[in-house]
A and B are shown apart, each in its own frame.
Chain A
């Protein structure tokens, strides 16, 4: 079965056993992402200190792609400046339109690129990142 390119082993393993699920202690920011079309739901909590994201966690109900994306997001943004994290969010969303946009992202975010062949599922991967942008909307001003 030709699924390995799409359901990368990391997507499968991180959806089966997420490493960053839950709620961060002393959260400073949070947001919820909902996809009413499929019922996927991501609740993202962050602890920001001095313009940096110190810690991120998620509670996700949804498909493997959504759970893995939220989990990899939580890992990728920890330690990042808020501004960088927001840039990553933009690039993550953009890479499904324009492959070059993904080039600057860490490799484990690029594993979602094969979704370009499955347009209906891109929303599953971007939902946590859209929630991140909402959670940081006020910090970015």
Chain B
């Protein structure tokens, strides 16, 4: 029996995103900036609006009907996220504001358990979110921070990682699961196996990866995994940290306040069990429920269809982008998610972005919160086109023809 993956009905999917029928400068919106933040389907918009219209109160504290129903809806999302990540337990899911906060939590809390003489490894292609918190930990605690190089194609240099782990003092390898600039997927299982063989833990920043691939934290043998809701068609203000229970139990709280305590006296407090130990204060209730709706929505399409659609787009873009004279795609990773960074001879990425915008095409230009990577590549900025489940080949073609017109205009 052959397994045929049915491509998703992108027209039907697009109809679920009200914003995609908006005009920009009088033209149809071609939104190729989903890696920065994705647009939202009606299912997410309605879930958030419904909870505020019909079923809202603070959670974990009210003894009344509204609070109990809202608590149930909020906690149900914890279970959805656990299922989404293949996590063994819903209690290992910590809600944060975004992936950045999740990594800061680990850097602060797990970081406080590290000893002088131990090291953290990050890669040369990290988003600032997975670099700056570790620099802050290094400056605070004196641990060592080392950078795993990338290959010329823009893949993680696994041989270099193996060598670096040979030093024997590495406590944690913290790397992106998919580069937000080059677009390459990291072989997470390979990183985890290498790290574990030398006694190190491993954290993956999954902000980009969870949008494009099915992630199973047990299959990749991760210790920590983070992602953010707003790139996954959910709202801003809600992110996720998953970590192994024994790690979470050994880690001190990150922030103090309501909801994260067991008992409080003026002299001392004791902590609530995980996950609540890490969730101080009233959380992003509405946004969490929105994230739940986003996960349901993504799972209703399914990652087989999502990945098949993306592969088709990536192959198409890889074919047509080089048709633009003077255009150079940055990196040639072995397994590319739906992200292309590129530069054009004699045209600055910001000029490209503004001129594309005049044609209704939204892309990102700049350093993409990865300045050290830009320095490594010898660039100050790139243009980046990124794809989502609602992206079409016609939109990639619109990008290419607009780039050709810009080139003619400028050169």
Q: Using CB atoms and an 8 Å cutoff, list the residues of chain A in contact with chain B.
A: 1-3, 6-7, 12, 16, 37-39, 61-65, 118, 121, 124
* B348 A7 Cβ-Cβ under 8 A: no
B355 at the interface (CB under 8 A from A): yes
* B346 A16 Cβ-Cβ under 8 A: yes
* B358 A65 Cβ-Cβ under 8 A: no
**Residue among B354, B359, B406 facing the most chain A CB atoms (10 A cut-off):** B354
Contact of B380 among A2, A61, A65 (CB under 8 A): A61
Within the complex, the shortest CB–CB distance from A121 to chain B, in Å, comes to: 6
Contact of B409 among A7, A39, A65, A121 (CB under 8 A): A7
In the bound complex, residues from chain B placing their C-beta under 8 Å from that of A64 are: 347-348, 351, 410
Grouping DSSP codes into helix (H, G, I), strand (E, B) and loop, the A interface class, with mixed when no group exceeds half, is loop
Contact with A along B175-196 (1 / 0, CB 8 A): 0000000000000000000000
Contact A121-B354, Cβ < 8 Å, known A38-B366, A39-B367, A63-B348: yes
Pull 27 A–B residue pairs with CB atoms less than 8 Å apart, ordered by A.
Answer: A1-B359, A1-B406, A3-B406, A3-B409, A6-B354, A7-B351, A7-B355, A7-B409, A12-B409, A16-B410, A37-B366, A38-B366, A38-B380, A38-B381, A39-B367, A39-B380, A61-B380, A62-B348, A63-B350, A63-B351, A64-B347, A64-B348, A64-B351, A64-B410, A118-B357, A121-B350, A121-B354
B405 at the interface (CB under 8 A from A): yes
Complex: chain B residue closest to A12, CB-CB: B410
Contact A1-B381, Cβ < 8 Å, known A63-B350, A118-B354: no
In the bound complex, residues from chain A placing their C-beta under 8 Å from that of B359 are: 1
A63, B381: Cα distance in complex, Å: 10
In the bound complex, residues from chain A placing their C-beta under 8 Å from that of B351 are: 7, 63-65
Given contacts A38-B367, A62-B350, A65-B351, 13 further A-B contacts (CB under 8 A): A1-B355, A1-B402, A3-B406, A7-B351, A7-B355, A7-B409, A12-B409, A37-B366, A38-B365, A39-B367, A61-B380, A63-B349, A121-B350
Q: Please provide the 5 A-B residue pairs with the shortest distance between their CB atoms, ordered closest to farther.
A: A39-B380, A63-B348, A63-B350, A64-B351, A63-B351
Contact A6-B358, Cβ < 8 Å, known A38-B350, A62-B348, A63-B350: yes
